[in-house]
Amino acid sequence: MSTPIEQNLSGGALGQPEAEIYDRGYRHYDGPREGRRHAIQALIVYSIKRGLGIKKRWTAKIIPILIYAFAFFPVLIIIGIRAFVGNAAGGGLNYLTLYSAISVIMVVFAAATAPEMLCDDRRQRVLPLYFSRTISRGDYLLAKIGGLGILMGTVALLPAFILFLGSTFLAKSPVSYFFNHIADLLRITAAGTLLAFLFASIGLLIAGFTERKSIAAAVYIGAVLLVAGFAGALFNAINAGWHRYFVLADLISVSDGLTSWIFGIPLDQGRMAAKANLNGAWYLLTVAVVVVACAAVMYRQYLREE
């Protein structure tokens, strides 16, 4: 490859930025090749950028910005108010209520972002270019799940971490608060990661079956609402003991049950997950089954030859 003839101009007294002059004649590349792992990382980064609308038209950035605004502002505002008027303000905000709100935001985020990651590659027939390189179809899916999982993780984890930090610094004794509540950091990580991959995997599964982003987004939100509606109706209509398991079909209730179990905070009695009163392990199992099933179906879908 062409070796850059680098001229460092920054040594001068004026402190100009570094400049580089390149010989643009083609030469063979004899530098390092970092292999499959690097390729997967590169695809994760590229997917995240596309999901956030980076280097795309401004319209592609609107939804990510709004999502982040909805996810972060309530926490920041309540912590700000508490800083001025004391911890009594916004007393209803705890990790459970935070995740109840965030799980709804995550549904919208996954609906908007998962199609961005998969649909264009299919519609614009980019997949043969990927699959003719050093990554396998499984690697491609792994990178997409990883990319969306990381993006969803920022929404699932950061607001809760901010709440933790805010609570720590606003406590009378921040040091003792931190050490008394350090387990919350693990709980946040566990809950946030599980929810991120739950919503991401369903979003990617749906996006893997269509080339149209708008259809994928509509189907995702529609499916979540429809299934939740059916599950709620059956839950209320049937009273046979086993009817409690219908709650596992409602993603928001799964999120409620899981976070309630992880943080040890009881749910409001009006919530379906509270009425179902299932052991938290059922919600954990549901998340694991959904993520694995979605990955398996997607893998099968992508094994189909281009």
Partner 1 sequence: MTGISTSGWMVETTNLRKSYGKVVALEGLSVQIPRAAVGLLGANGAGKSTLIKLLLGLQSPVSGDASVLGFNVRSDPLRMREHVGYMPESDSLPLDVTAADFVGHMAEISGLPSRAARLRAAETLYQCGVDEERYRLMREFSTGMKQRVKLAQAIVHDPDLVFLDEPTNGMDPAGRDDMLRLISRIHNDLGITVILSSHLLEDVELVCDYVVMLENGRLAMTGPLTSLVQGEGDVVVQVDGDVDRFIQGLRAKGLEARRRDRDILLAYRDDSVFDVVRDLSIDLNVLLRGLRRDTRTLEDVYLQRMSEQPENEAADVHAD
Taking CB under 8 A as the rule, does residue 135 contact partner 1? yes
Distance CA 40, CA 10 (A): 35
- Contact at 8 Å (CB) between 70 and 57? no
Taking CB under 8 A as the rule, does residue 18 contact partner 1? no
Q: Which is nearer to partner 1, 61 or 289 (CB)?
A: 61
Taking CB under 8 A as the rule, does residue 46 contact partner 1? yes
Of 49-57, 162-170, 188-196, 268-276, which part binds partner 1 (CB under 8 A)?
49-57
Taking CB under 8 A as the rule, does residue 121 contact partner 1? yes
CB of 297 to partner 1, least distance (A): 20
**Nearest CA among 305, 296, 303 for reference residue 137:** 303
What are the backbone angles phi and psi of residue 229, rounded to the nearest 5°? -65, -45
Q: Which is nearer to partner 1, 15 or 31 (CB)?
A: 31
Pairing of strands 4-7, 19-22: antiparallel
The interface mask with partner 1, positions 136-175, x = CB under 8 A, is x---------------------------------------
**DSSP for 33-98, written as a single string:** --HHHHHHHHHHHHHHHHHHTTTS-THHHHHHHHHHHHHHHHHHHHHHHHHHH-TTTTTT--HHHH
Of 32-40, 145-153, 168-176, 248-256, which part binds partner 1 (CB under 8 A)?
32-40
Taking CB under 8 A as the rule, does residue 56 contact partner 1? yes
Out of 6, 10, 22, 180, point to the residue binding partner 1 (CB under 8 A).
22
Q: Which is nearer to partner 1, 120 or 209 (CB)?
A: 120
Taking CB under 8 A as the rule, does residue 21 contact partner 1? no
Distance CA 265, CA 110 (A): 26
Q: Which is nearer to partner 1, 32 or 270 (CB)?
A: 32
Taking CB under 8 A as the rule, does residue 12 contact partner 1? no
E strand or H helix that includes residue 278: none
Taking CB under 8 A as the rule, does residue 211 contact partner 1? no
CB of 210 to partner 1, least distance (A): 17
Beta bridge partners of 19: 7
Helix-then-strand count for the chain, H and E: 11, 2
E strand or H helix that includes residue 288: helix 280-303
Residue 264, token pair as written in the block:
């040890």
**Cα first-last separation, the chain:** 32
Beta bridge partners of 6: 20
Taking CB under 8 A as the rule, does residue 305 contact partner 1? yes
Taking CB under 8 A as the rule, does residue 32 contact partner 1? yes
Query: Which residues are near partner 1 by CB under 8 A?
Result: 1-2, 4, 22, 24, 26, 28-29, 31-36, 38-39, 42-43, 46, 55-57, 60, 120-121, 124-126, 128-136, 305-306
